[in-house]
A = this chain, B = another copy of it.
Amino acid sequence: MSEHRFVLVHGSWHDGSLWGPVVDRLRELGHVVETPTIAGHGKGADKAVTHEDCVRSITDFIVERDLSDVVLLGHSFGGTIIAKVAEQIPERLRRLIFWNAFVLEDGHCLNDEIPRQFAEMFYALAGASDDNTVMLPWPIWREVFINDADEALARSAYEQLSPEPYQPLTAKLDLKRFYELQIPRSYINCTEDIALPPGEFGWHPRFSGRLGLCRLVQLPGSHEVLFTNPRLLADKIVEAGRD
């Protein structure tokens, strides 16, 4: 098995530190792993960021370290980031992995791709906040994000989350160049991921189907399997990322 250089880009409410046990397992398997935090994310961060700022923070991370041959993974909201990063530095990327990630249609924002009641809830929560952010309500987290955890793990993971900047969820993205890229790509789907409701609005095959020739890898688990089964997730990242 040949080693890869993985860059893992987290989703909303997360930051780069939450990949811990996934990183441990990937390193145990001989891979090099980086887990940058997207601008405006994590506890204590300045949340006044745009989607462009988010993308730039990841592109800069890769360029400043002069990383090449990168297997770039995006989780959830992170999918909207890696698509734009791929447009800007395709020559540095070996493969893209979307893990239960948004693959937006050209011209759409994330909120265009979720059920209307979720978009309206995010709008209301952002409006009620001091700083135009959205915190995920506990019952939603518990029932449909981390449905495979026991209550103690659900709570301890929830405490590590932080409010999500609202602007990046509403930024309409020009993705014409992304859809012309020839970088190999994989989609990882957790079969119990109901953070988006299965069916019309489900992750797979809705988003995976937009990627053209695309390797599918599946595993049991919820949207937050990085907390509930990080070793298996790491093994599946390897399956998705290899040549």
Contact = CB atoms under 8 A, between A and B. Distances in A.
Interface of A: 1, 139-140, 142-144, 147-148, 150-151, 184, 191-192, 194, 197-199, 202, 204-205, 208-209, 213-218, 220, 239, 242-243
Contact of A242 (B150, B192, B197, B213): B150
Nearest to A204: B198
A138 to B, nearest CB: 11
Contact of A205 (B197, B208, B239): B197
B147 A184 contact: no
The quantity of this chain's copies bound in the complex is 3
B151 A216 contact: no
Nearest to A187: B194
A242 B151 contact: yes
Given A150-B242, A191-B218, A218-B192, A205 B199 contact: yes
19 contacts: A139-B213, A142-B215, A147-B215, A148-B217, A148-B239, A151-B242, A151-B243, A191-B191, A191-B218, A192-B216, A192-B217, A194-B214, A194-B216, A197-B209, A198-B204, A198-B205, A198-B208, A199-B205, A199-B209
Contact of A213 (B144, B148, B191, B199): B144
A58 B178 CA distance: 48
Contact of A147 (B151, B205, B217): B217
A186 to B, nearest CB: 8
A143 B213 contact: yes
A196 to B, nearest CB: 11
A208 B150 CA distance: 21
